[in-house]
Structure 1
Amino acid sequence: MEALQNVLSEIRKIGSDIVAICPQRPQFLKQMQKKHDIEFEILRDEGNQVAEAFGLRQVLPEYLREVYEQFNLDLPRVNGDESWSLPMPARYVVDRKGIVFAADVNADYTKRPEPEKTIEDLRRLQEQK
């Protein structure tokens, strides 16, 4: 999120914007926005329903749950459900008609698409107009 915030002005100069979707409960989303000075919209995906619809929902295996718990990362409390699930990192560039122009998805939740790639995709989309 912080990396996207860092390129938000450039994305807006292109004539685009960012909308993020996260499973965290509202108070945790607000904390994240404040901590990282995030100026774009973050929508809540309660129960990872949107992630499920997009085929992005992953249930953490037991060994990872134990790791989270060792670091006092209480995913059920943060997300507000007992599913121990997270969305895969994904970034979509969508045109004004709602058509997906580009998509970047990674099953490894520690690997996120680079913001520069998103900017490149947005510029390519602008060139096609």
Structure 2
Amino acid sequence: MQQISAAGGRLIAISPQLPDQSFSTAEKNELSFSVLSDVGNVVARSFGLVFSLPLELRAALTANNKALPDINGDESWELPVPATFVVASGGAVTLAHFDVDYRQRLDPGTILDALKSLTAQ
């Protein structure tokens, strides 16, 4: 976080959770960045990043008291594909990364390099 800030960046997370759920997650995990609520995956859908969970996963989540309708406030059982964007101050997307495997995240060094290239321009 310090390096991102030093490079002129700001981290913002976007979640399909209801605002109270997003706030609770941010508070519980002591996050030092903003977590915005994208109820209904409106923003994620505009980027083409929404998928529907298969029935067997829905049953498993329900059995573990983690049913998406309770958390996200709709019956869609949809989630966004994890994605990372670096957006310039003018709104241009200068780096985009997404992977359906939520364990495959963009290396923070790549994000820092993208931020540093923006400040060098």
Q: TM-score, normalised by structure 1?
A: 0.85
The answer for the alignment partner of 1:5 in structure 2 is none
The answer for the alignment partner of 1:84 in structure 2 is 77
Q: 1:69 to 1:110 in 2, by over 3 A?
A: farther
Q: How many percent identity over aligned positions?
A: 38
Q: CA deviation at 1:34?
A: 1.0
The answer for the alignment partner of 2:53 in structure 1 is 60
Q: CA deviation at 1:88?
A: 0.4
Q: How many residues align?
A: 121
Q: CA deviation at 1:83?
A: 0.3
Q: State the alpha-carbon separation in 2 of the partners of residues 67 and 74 from structure 1.
A: 9
Q: Superposition pairs for residues 1-129 of structure 1, below 5 Å?
A: 8-127=1-120, 129=121
Return 5+ residue gaps in structure 1 as ranges: 1-7
Moved more, 87-96 or 35-44: 35-44
Q: TM-score, normalised by structure 2?
A: 0.90
Query: Are the equivalent residues in 1 in contact too, given 2:58–2:67 (CA < 8 A)?
Result: no
Q: 1:71 to 1:114 in 2, by over 3 A?
A: farther
Q: Which amino acid aligns with 1:60?
A: L
Instruction: Kindly report structure 1 stretches of 4+ aligned residues shifted beyond 6 Å.
Output: none
Return 5+ residue gaps in structure 2 as ranges: none
Q: State the alpha-carbon separation in 1 of the partners of residues 64 and 108 from structure 2.
A: 28
Q: Which amino acid aligns with 2:22?
A: L
